Homo-oligomer: A and B are copies of this chain.
Amino acid sequence: MEKKYIGVGVIGLGVVAGQVSKVLCEREEFLSAQLGFPLKLKKVKVLPQDMTRPLAKSLPEGVLTTDEDDFFNTPGLDIVVEAIGGEYPAFNLLSRGLKMGKCVVTSNKEVIAKHAPELVKLAKDNNVGLRCEASVGGGIPLISPFQYDLAANHIKGIYAIINGTTNYILTRMAKEGLDFATALKQAQSLGYAEANPSNDIEGTDAVYKLAIMASINFQCVVKPEDIYREGISRLTSRDFCYADELGFNIKLLAITKPGNGQIEARVHPVFLPKDDWLAKVDGVFNAVLVEGDLVGPVLFQGQGAGALATSSAVVADVLAAAQDIHLGVGNRMRWNMDKPLGIKPMSDILTRYYLRMTVTDSPGVLALIAKVLGDHSISISSVIQKETDEKNLTAEIVIMTHPAKEAFVQQALVKLGGLDKVKEINNFVRVGI
Contact = CB atoms under 8 A, between A and B. Distances in A.
B141 A23 contact: no
Interface stretch (A53-61, A255-263, A295-303, A390-398): A295-303
A220 B149 CA distance: 25
Interface stretch (A230-238, A310-318, A407-415): A310-318
Nearest to A144: B149
A107 to B, nearest CB: 13
Nearest to A31: B152
Contact of A334 (B34, B293, B299): B34
- Tell me the number of copies of this protein: 2
Given A133-B149, A141-B141, A295-B139, A301 B301 contact: yes
A148 B296 CA distance: 23
A27 B299 contact: no
A379 to B, nearest CB: 31
A140 B334 CA distance: 19
A246 interface: no
A141 B151 contact: no
Interface string A346-374: 00000000000000000000000000000
Contact of A150 (B23, B27, B141): B141
Given A34-B334, A327-B332, A295 B301 contact: no
A88 to B, nearest CB: 28
Given A144-B145, A287-B299, 10 more contacts: A31-B152, A35-B334, A139-B294, A140-B295, A151-B316, A151-B319, A152-B311, A294-B309, A297-B302, A323-B334
Interface in A226-266: none
A139 to B, nearest CB: 4
B300 A300 contact: yes
Interface string A120-144: 0000000000000100001111001
Interface residues of A, number: 52
9 contacts: A34-B151, A35-B334, A141-B149, A152-B311, A277-B301, A294-B311, A296-B306, A296-B308, A299-B299
B296 A302 contact: yes
Nearest to A35: B334
A182 interface: no
A51 interface: no
Interface in A134-180: 138-141, 144-145, 148-154
Q: Which of A294, A306, A316 counts the most B-chain CB atoms under 10 A from its CB?
A: A294
A320 interface: yes
A298 B300 contact: yes
Given A280-B280, A298-B300, A301-B301, A312 B332 contact: no
A319 B148 CA distance: 8
A328 interface: yes
A35 to B, nearest CB: 8
B302 A299 contact: yes
Interface string A35-48: 10000000000000
